[in-house]
Structure formats: structure tokens, C-alpha cells
Structure 1
Amino acid sequence: MKKILLLATGGTIASKPTAAGGLAPAITSEELLSFVPELAKLCEIDAVQLFSLDSTNVGPEQWQQLVHAIRQNYDAYDGFVIAHGTDTMAYTAAALSYMIQNSAKPVVLTGSQKSIYNRDTDARNNLYRTFLYASSDFSWGVQLVFDNKVILGTRARKTRTKSFNAFSSIDYPETAVFRDMRLIPFLRRPDPMPPVQFYEQLDPAVFVLRLVPGMRADIIPLLAPHYRALVVESFGVGGLPGGEHGEMYARLQDWCTSGRLAVFTTQVPHEGCDLAVYEVGRSVKELPGVLEAKDMTPEAVAVKLMWALGQTTDRAEAMRLFTTPVEWDIV
């Protein structure tokens, strides 16, 4: 019987109603397990309450705590399950994908749209199937299990706010699916796998700028004192209003000349960006320090930049790290 470590972090799955009428994390890791007694037949489970937060409050500091806990316990367990809130779970899944690379052991995140405290919700099903996946011989790497789907950490995105089928795999196949209790794997663990690599350094000095028609360019110099990298969520396949003759281009040129990074992505949910298609993007692509996110998810773009900047202060090296595919984030 495999040995799995549960790391509980709060979120809706562990929430109860408050006196004010809202929901807040209040259920401990041991209590979570007590709601699904069938888990005892699947695997041997230890549980740790790492923190108890609404996932809106989960960020780089908590990602580092998770990585540290997994690194400290990596040799003692066959896999890891993380119970997490849904709102930022895709960010955490992406972060762990970059901070724990080449893991032959599964690091699996799950959560729910309704609390496990309630009857007949998605919480118990998601938690049971997550442990079922984590204890299987097919499991590996950083994955997200939700509503009978297993999704790569770099490809997961929350695409619905309330429905039980809240998460989708963006522009990449699901790793596996469940048919009732039967696990059907699609993408098997690479063989052989390089040794696992852990990273605990991040630099959150990344700003995501979503373009809207008519936006003023003077926002960019205001960001310069506080951020090392800018993610530009552009229109369609990418570009800047006015092209190389516009004010936005001039301000971005100043940003890049100062040694900072700028990564272009798209507001469109699928198929990624390509600055070479239109004249408003071709000149931008030639600026020093400008990169394209291609088909990466927005969550993966932001977090991979934090990871790359955390490894180096050299822009060229950060650019190399960002453009090197990790865990199928770029295809």
C-alpha cells in the first residue's frame, strides 16, 4: 500500500459558514480525511495542515512553503496531495510545476466548488479521485484533479466560477480521466525521467498589463520602479496600438532599454500569440528583452517569470529560462 502525504491549505473544500454569512476555511486536514473514510482502503495517509487560507490569499510565500514541505518529505512518501482553494489553484499548480521539476512521484492538487462540510457536493468525489490517482502506478509530476479529469499543472485553468466542471486543460490533452472509479491514463510518465529538481526562489516583481482600447501609455513608466518584468495581455495574436510609431511602443522601448523583460501573450483563451503576423506586432518583437508566451496559459506565464527571475539577475539568462519548455508548458 502506497504512502501519501496530504498537505491541507484551506480553500472552499475546507470551509464552513461564518457568523457574517460568508465562507471561510475552518476544517482541518484530519477532518477532511474523516469525511471520506473510504480513503483508508486506498493508501496509507499522513496529514499536515500547512496553512488555512482562502486561496485568494495564497501566493509566492505559500508556494515556497509547499515546495519546502514536499522537499523535506520527498523520500518518505510515494506521492503528495494538496487540498487547495479553486480561485488560485491554477497559479499554484503552475508554480509547483516550475519549482518541482522532473518528479517521478505525483504532486496532485484538488479542491471543490462546494465545501466537504455539505452533503452531496463535488468535494468528496474530487478528494477520493485525487488519492486514487496519486496512489496509482500511472501517476507522476504536478497534476490537478477535478471533476474526473487529470490536468498537467502548466496547462490547468479555471474556466468556470461556479460549475463543478470548473477546470480545463488549455490547448493540451488531459493526462488522464476517470470513468466512474476507473482511471484511464492518456499521457504516461516519461521513462526514464531525470532526477527531480527543487527550486525555492521566486521573484514576484511581475506585473500583468491587460490592454484595453484607448489605454494611456504613461502607465508603463509608473511600473518601472517596482517591477522587473511586464506581461502584456494584448489583442488577438499580439501587438501594440499604434505599432512602432505609437506612444505605447516608445514607453515599452524605454522599459526594455532599462534592462527589464516584457512578455507578450493574448487575451484570447486558446491558440496563443504570434507577434510576426501583423505590423503592429512585428516591430515590437525586435525590441531587446521582448518575448512571446506562445501557447502558454496566463497563469503559467506570470509564474514562470517569477521563477526565472528568482534564479538569476541576468536578463539574458532569465530569457533563456523562460523560453525553455518545462513540463509541456510550450508546445
Structure 2
Amino acid sequence: MKRILMLTTGGTIASEPTEEGLVPAMDGRLLAAYLNGLAAENQLQIENLYQLDSSNIQPEEWQGMARAVASRFQQYDGIVMTHGTDTMAYTASVLSFMLRNIPVPVVLTGSQLPIRHPLTDGVENLRCAFAMATSGRAGVFVAFDRKIILGTRAVKVRTTGFDAFESVNCPYAAMVDSTGLNLNEAVLQKPSGDFQLEDRLCDGVILIKLTPGLNPEIFDMLLQMQYKGIVIEAFGAGGLNFVRRDLISKLHKVVQSGIPVVVCSQCLYERSDFTIYQAGQKALESGVLQAYDMTTEAAVTKLMWALGQTNRPGEIRRIFETCYAGEVSLT
């Protein structure tokens, strides 16, 4: 029997209908009652961390989750965490950075329908999460629709479909079919050292989606608002406008002021490459950092995590030139 800790944080899977819509109301004990014999097959311990719609999960909750895992993982073979789907990808990404070299599986899951609903996907998602939690493979993962995704590669791509999450720019870490849990050894990470809890975060990071005609003066306002880091979703492989509205010159001033600027692509798949076009090369000259094939969720949370460790531009650059949890392909 495996020792499994189930941490609950709320989300649709634990929601009940009210006059104001679905509200997280069920605790872990009630959720576990829907697992039938699965709970009996493992030594299951349940702890309720939060009872929140995941729209209300913020950096303070991320730190609480990371600290809960860090203080308990040595007593268990794996950890399952229930979570709302809307911000699950952000949580999975940031936990991947904060729980450095976690030696046990930490598997996030949830559902598109409450577990009490007769057509719920919650039970199946929990069963798959338990399968991964008992696999002995280290790391942070998302389990959804019989797929296991690295925490730094999960993106929610559908609002209602049961196949709500995809692994972006990375194969699935595992798949569940009639033969059971099939692990992809090429994707799975191995700890590179001793476990470290690195839970300091900077919440002064903003994400900007570039649109044609965006006024560069918006970045002056962001500096006045004392933001500490900026992530930009640029066009295509890394395009930034510099004709008439010279965004690149403005970003150069931002970087010179000590504020790191990370640029990723608005395209969901494939990598950005700033060496291809003139606009991209000008952006590199301005000092921005490339996100390459990182998801937006990973880029945002990695910058929040990096700024929690240091405010030195050179060290921030080094962090973004390092792959910590499978979040980026550096070639």
C-alpha cells in the first residue's frame, strides 16, 4: 500500500450549486467518498487547505500550498492536490519552481463538472491522479482526461470540454489506457540535488498581450505603478512593433531601469526565435529575455519566482537561461 496525502483547495470538483452559481463547498472527506475502493487501496491522509474558486487562488495561496507539501512530503509516497481548472496551470507551474527537486510525485487535478454531478469527470481524473501519485516518479504534474502533463507545460485550452488541458510544446508525461499508466521516460524529470523549498515570490509582475497599435507609453505607467517585471506576448516568433509606435526603444528604457522584460509568443505552439526577423533582433539588442517555447503560464510564474530570489538583472537572465522543471527547450 502506498501512503498518499490528498490536499484540497476547492474548485469545481468540490462545488455545490447555490443561488449564486457553483461554490466550492465539499471537503476532502466527501471527495474521497467517491473514490470507491481506491482510498482503501492506499494509506490515504486528507487535509483541507482552502475552499476557493481557483480564480481566487493567488501568490499567497501558492506559498501556502508549497509550504504544506514541503512540510509533509517525507511522510508520503505521493501527493494529490485538488484544484479549480481556471488557474491550475499557473499553480502547477509555480509549484514546479518553488518545490525544487521534490523527490515524490505532486499531482494536481480537478474537473469540469462537480463530483456530485452524475456525468462528472472528477472521479476519473482523481483515479488517474492517484495512479501518477503512486508511480514513484518525482515532479509536479497535472492529471486530466487520462493524460499526465508536466506542471510547467500544462495549459487550459477548453472551457467546457473534458479534454480541458494540453501539454504544450512537450509530449505527455504519461497516458492512461487499457494497459494502465504508461510513463514517457523521455519527458519525466529526475531530481538534480537535494530538495529545497524556494517559496519567495514577487507579485509585481504583469502580463501584456501585444496588439497592433499598442501605445508604448503604457510601459511608463507600469513603471509608475512600481511593477517589478513584465511579460509580453508578442506576435509570431517574437515580433514587436518599432515603426511610428516604437515599442522596442521603450522596452530598452524599461530594461535599463532594472525591470526585466520577458517576451513569449501569442502562438500556443512552437517556439519564439528573435533571430529570424529584424524586429526580433532589435528586441534582443534592447535587452529583453526570450521565453523560447515556454507557456505563458510558465513564463509569468518563473519571473515571479525569479524576482522572489533576486533583483539582479544578470541573475534573472541566468535563471531564464536555465531549465529547472522541463519548462523550456534550450537549444
Counterpart AA for 1:76: Q
Pairing 1:269-288 to 2, within 5 Å after superposition: 269-288=268-287
Instruction: Give the TM-score taking structure 1 as reference length.
Output: 0.95
Aligned-partner Cα distance in 2 for 1:314–1:161: 39
Task: State the shift of 1:78 in Å.
Answer: 1.2
1:131 aligns with 2:130: yes
| 1:273-311 CA distance string (max 9 Å, x none) | 1111111121110123x1000000000000000000000
Aligned-partner Cα distance in 2 for 1:170–1:309: 25
Pairing 1:75-224 to 2, within 5 Å after superposition: 75-137=74-136, 139-180=137-178, 182-187=180-185, 193-224=192-223
Task: State the shift of 1:76 in Å.
Answer: 1.1
Residue equivalent to 2:240: 240
Gaps in structure 1 of 5+ consecutive residues:
none
Q: 8 Å contact 1:239–1:282 — kept in the other structure?
A: no
Specify whether residues 181 and 7 from structure 1 end up closer, same or farther in structure 2 by C-alpha distance, changes over 3 A only: farther
Residue equivalent to 1:65: 64
Counterpart AA for 2:312: D
| 1:66-96 CA distance string (max 9 Å, x none) | 0110111121111111000000000000011
Aligned-partner Cα distance in 1 for 2:200–2:41: 35
Aligned-partner Cα distance in 2 for 1:84–1:114: 13
| 1:156-189 CA distance string (max 9 Å, x none) | 1111110000000001111111014711111275
Q: 8 Å contact 1:90–1:299 — kept in the other structure?
A: yes
Specify whether residues 250 and 190 from structure 1 end up closer, same or farther in structure 2 by C-alpha distance, changes over 3 A only: closer
Q: Percent identity?
A: 41
Aligned-partner Cα distance in 2 for 1:190–1:251: 39
1:27 aligns with 2:26: yes
Instruction: Give the TM-score taking structure 2 as reference length.
Output: 0.95
Task: State the shift of 1:45 in Å.
Answer: 0.7
Q: 8 Å contact 2:214–2:245 — kept in the other structure?
A: no
Gaps in structure 2 of 5+ consecutive residues:
none
Q: 8 Å contact 2:215–2:245 — kept in the other structure?
A: no
Counterpart AA for 1:156: A
Q: 8 Å contact 1:148–1:179 — kept in the other structure?
A: yes
Residue equivalent to 1:252: 251
